[in-house]
Amino acid sequence: MSSPAFAEAVKGDPIVFLPIGAVEAHGPHLPLGTDTFQPEFVVNAVCERVGGLIAPTINYGQHSSTRNLPGTIDISFDTLRALVMDILDALRRNGVRKVVVISGHFGSVHRAAVKLACERAARQGMKVMFLSDYELAELRAQVVSEGLPDGHGGALETSRMMDIRPDLVAEARTAGEFVSMDFMVRADPERCLPQGFGGDARMATPEKGRLVNQFVVERLTELVRRNFEG
């Protein structure tokens, strides 16, 4: 899209989708870019349904518990917040008023950074929606993990990736434990995930993934319509 084409598109008051990805260890069976593939897939599908523009993905996020695991490339809270702030500022200067920020990663500190940037944009007059596609996917977690505990890199995420990028999911898959930290904040927080992921990845299937992804896309489409078209 060229500069004049963008200027023309903005006149129609479009929704701009801003995907936030991550480079994060997701166990031995999932790629480091798992949290990038998922929101990009969702954003593309939703954008097809409701229209709008897609901004280039922010490819890095903030990570706490997986920070020390090989392959996690994290950026700080401050950097992430500044990055989202700057992009929202630039979109606003360009006349964009409606933004949907979708993060693949669901860490609490990561989301706090993005949320603060979004709050600031809201106070400056933008209509901003912010969520993780994981929040919606999780509503279908029980179906996928059949009542067992599931989490980071578990059955839910593995299923979704088997639908989106089956070529990047390893055949050999195991189950990952959860170890409670009992509220201790540790220098080695990854010990809460001894296998580097949590949940039984053997329960994952592409069919389950398709159902979850469809649900996420439909639910988000509906939410975006209600929030921006109402």
Query: Which residues, 40 to 59, sit near a second copy by CB under 8 A?
Result: 55-59
Which residue from 12, 123, 147, 229 is in contact with a second copy, where contact means CB under 8 A? 123
Nearest approach, Cβ of residue 56 and a second copy (Å): 4
**Among candidate residues 138, 131, 161, the one with its CA nearest the CA of residue 37:** 161
Which residue from 45, 54, 131, 148 is in contact with a second copy, where contact means CB under 8 A? 131
Nearest approach, Cβ of residue 31 and a second copy (Å): 6
First-last CA distance in the chain: 28
Q: Does 223 bind a second copy (CB under 8 A)?
A: yes
Which residue from 20, 43, 47, 69 is in contact with a second copy, where contact means CB under 8 A? 69
Write each residue from 22 to 41 as x if it is in contact with a second copy (CB under 8 A), else as -, in one continuous string: -x-xxxxxxxxx--x-----
Q: Which stretch binds a second copy (CB under 8 A): 103-111, 144-152, 158-166, 202-210?
A: 103-111
Q: Which residue has the tokens 């578990």?
A: 154
Q: Determine contact, residues 212/160, Cβ cutoff 8 Å.
A: yes
**Among candidate residues 16, 141, 12, 26, the one with its CA nearest the CA of residue 89:** 16
Nearest approach, Cβ of residue 76 and a second copy (Å): 5
Q: Does 75 bind a second copy (CB under 8 A)?
A: yes
Q: Does 172 bind a second copy (CB under 8 A)?
A: no
The C-alpha atoms of residue 112 and residue 119 are separated, in whole angstroms, by 10
Per-residue CA distances from 196 to 51, 60, 61, 141, 153 (Å): 38, 19, 18, 19, 8
Nearest approach, Cβ of residue 150 and a second copy (Å): 19
Q: Would you tell me how many other CB atoms lie within 10 Å of the CB of residue 182? A: 5
Nearer to a second copy, 121 or 162 (CB): 121
Q: Determine contact, residues 87/18, Cβ cutoff 8 Å.
A: yes
Q: Which stretch binds a second copy (CB under 8 A): 44-52, 90-98, 141-149, 200-208?
A: 90-98
- Helix (H/G/I), strand (E/B), else coil: 209: helix
